[in-house]
Structure 1
């Protein structure tokens, strides 16, 4: 049977319309991404720096992607539990990880066996913030300056204890850098995240810690004393607070870049879209204010620049860990 040209054209237009060939061609039936909620795993407890950053970017991401971004806290083993969950999740663009720099740059040098390889099994998506760690001391310690505190620790070897976000966390390694540079002796008390460590510091159960920002809110009230920043240079938010190098303790740099990762194999177009949307979210005034309160700085980067920064941090931390002989069972 032959159809008039106008009827043939109408039939073709109808049959070729999007969605009508779903039963014939699977690719044509593919839904645009995203078409359901996105899970953002945080591999540290609620209340810490990673959790604060995740909750800071999620509203902007939800608005841009027109889908809910659900925060899923999966703490444990210095980020390994949550990192493993994301590394083994489907690479379909619906599961991402917001993690500390230490969990990807430090863990591989400390743990003899890990259930996943952060380099091979995770894809860098977007940098979120440069996070600094600050030396906070409980007011029961009489030292009121960095130099006085160093002298006090030397006078009381093994008597003071310090908390951290866990074995191998950036706050832990920063404290080890501090001890090694100053030839100091203090007892490490690891916690399952920075928030519980901060709680015990406020209670005086530990005497000091290198805090990734949440503890700074307690300095003005006198509940904690801020003595130094473990960075290569002073923080803009605290221009009067010295670096450890200014007290003669060289090579103490606990800065790290917190960012978002996806399971390896996630489609590049999705990774690129997430990078653009996260960078756009970082320009928001409220988010910048929240990061500023943590004593850090928003750090929008391209995917390549983010990966390169992590490689630099990985080399820096790896070198120190090998020299210091630090291991975690």
Structure 2
């Protein structure tokens, strides 16, 4: 249980050095474009990279007032949100909407949530934001194991468009169906060559997490792993970011889709993989 204190062959990448690399290598306009989820989706579409369909873009209270009907199931996201904050995933059952964690919302609750997003309550350093209402994506059954809730995703850390580290962010009821480590999702480190699971950790581990704990077969490999790496690399390239976290999902039809790209990717991925990101970056011949 917990992180092995002797896990890194080299020193881990710290926040100060990560921030320096981002300031030095990520152009400000590319970072701004990545933060704007709606804008970056258009970049993905222009480059033929599949992403969830945006049904509505809500910019102000008048847009909310005009929203008379909603789909049977959908996802709400702040356009400039971070860390999974403000994301609402629901499915209609009679006159209420149910989340993966079995939370119940009325139509007025949903409108209230949209108002909070527009007011910038879930967004970083901006007073007003847009709310995006997207189609709901269901995961490939190949990525659904014990304790699953919501949509697991795969975070691929790319450096100069080269995938150097990756993890499955496994959403559970504890994380309220959200695939964010800060929200309680479980991180599963991945072998970059095979897509097999190497280590499993969570922010607050209450068990000795192993593949067997989640009912994951010993010979499990992420399906279409080489293609996922290629899509992540291409997404990083079109983003213009040298340091990028690309969030990929495999949907219920087995299609690879990109949720978003992060120009300030977290470094918890090295704890999940029990491997230094610094070592991984040096493998791409960046001299530190």
> Greater share of strand residues, 1 or 2?
2
> Greater share of helix residues, 1 or 2?
1
